[in-house]
Amino acid sequence: MAPSLSLLLICLLALYTPVTSKKECGRPSLGDGMDLEGLQRVYSPGDVVVLSCKQGYSPTSGSRTIICTASGQWTKSRLKCSTKSCSFPEALDHGDMEFVDIVYQSTINYTCHEGYTLQGASTIECLHDGQWSDPPPTCTPVTCGLPPIPKYGKIVYDSKFTGNMTVFGFGGTYECFPPLVLIGNERGSCSTNGDWTEPPECKLVTCSAPTDINNGYMNIHDKREYGFKETVRYGCNIDYVLDGPVEIECLQTGDWSIKPACRVPCKVDIKRGRILYNGRTFWIKDFEPNKISHGEVLSVYCMNKEKKCGYAVSTQCIDGNLKIPECFEEPSDKFNDDSLPSEIAQC
């Protein structure tokens, strides 16, 4: 029994030893962008493998072959694969480009500025051979025909041109034949959609005869129609105050600009007492003429009953209305001067 067992052990050892002494290589580790042909799971000592660079990568240096050595290690390769680059793109006239890199598989996006259209590919890609997929696009201006001209008007171009086509941005200034008035945009140009901007109209503008104002007068007497931009001046009768512009103008719309008004003077509506006006005091019966102009201010006197002192309270004439402050008390007709708030100590 024992001899046969030891024989078996010897046989097993004999089988095992050659296997362990002859080592194999695993898959070689590959650097960035590297490739190899006929990948196997295991390689025997002496096996030779040729490394290469993948599409889009170019070899820079070093030998390409590695050998599986008896110790189960691959020899070192100094091959390096670097990404291929495409040429640096030129700037796009009247447009923009967007890109992050110019290496294999990078893309460039192109766009054109307003008023320009893109001719060609809007996106190009850097291919494995280091060439761009398409030539760069161009931006060509939008074109328009000739501008619309208003009846009884014309356009004066910004610069000379011939033919029946204009390009984006080209423009001019419209004019109307006098006495017609230009209503709308004075400027016109070829716009982004290939059409000219909306032309103006040439119209005859008249305003009906201007109307009088109360308590005032106009500098004209003829009741005729007036033309665009004609003016009329207004004035006010004595003691009346002009509120608003002195002059009105016939507008594009055929209406007059806002008319002024003549504001009415005020009467000081108290029978007795003293007032303060323009820094001076007056007994009302001596205030002649009893009249202050629109916008002017005067004061009446009120009594502080607790402190037994007088004080002036001001009020303003607004278009014929002068509100007497509520604290004012009209003295009786047999009043004693010395007791009036205007005559006693002031607060």
With b meaning 16 or more CB within 10 Å and e meaning fewer, what string describes 325-343?
eeebeebeeeeeeeebbbe
Nearer to ligand NAG, 46 or 145 (CB): 145
Q: Which two tokens stand for residue 10?
A: 């010897």
Interacting residue ranges for ligand NAG, rule: CB under 6 A = 98-100, 107, 109, 123, 145, 164
Nearer to ligand NAG, 122 or 321 (CB): 122
Compute the least distance from the CB of residue 106 to ligand NAG, in Å.
Answer: 7
Compute the least distance from the CB of residue 103 to ligand NAG, in Å.
Answer: 12
Nearer to ligand NAG, 63 or 143 (CB): 143
- Number of helices followed by number of strands (H, E) in the chain: 1, 29
CA distance 97 to 255: 54
Compute the least distance from the CB of residue 137 to ligand NAG, in Å.
Answer: 14
DSSP 8-class letter at 235: E
Compute the least distance from the CB of residue 50 to ligand NAG, in Å.
Answer: 36
Q: What one-letter code names the amino acid at 159?
A: S
The pair phi, psi for residue 248, each rounded to 5°, is: -115, 160
Q: Which two tokens stand for residue 33?
A: 């962008």
Across 74-142, where does the E strand assignment appear? Answer: 81-83, 95-98, 107-112, 116-119, 123-125, 138-141
Beta strands 95-98 and 107-112: pairing type?
antiparallel
CB 203 within 8 A of CB 181: yes
Compute the least distance from the CB of residue 163 to ligand NAG, in Å.
Answer: 7
Compute the least distance from the CB of residue 91 to ligand NAG, in Å.
Answer: 16
The pair phi, psi for residue 319, each rounded to 5°, is: 45, 55
CB 218 within 8 A of CB 232: yes
Nearer to ligand NAG, 89 or 244 (CB): 89
Compute the least distance from the CB of residue 143 to ligand NAG, in Å.
Answer: 10
Nearer to ligand NAG, 99 or 217 (CB): 99
Nearer to ligand NAG, 165 or 309 (CB): 165
Compute the least distance from the CB of residue 201 to ligand NAG, in Å.
Answer: 24
Q: Which two tokens stand for residue 98?
A: 């967007």
CA distance 85 to 132: 10
CB 209 within 8 A of CB 255: no
Nearer to ligand NAG, 136 or 244 (CB): 136
Nearer to ligand NAG, 46 or 194 (CB): 194
Element (H, E) at 281: strand 280-283
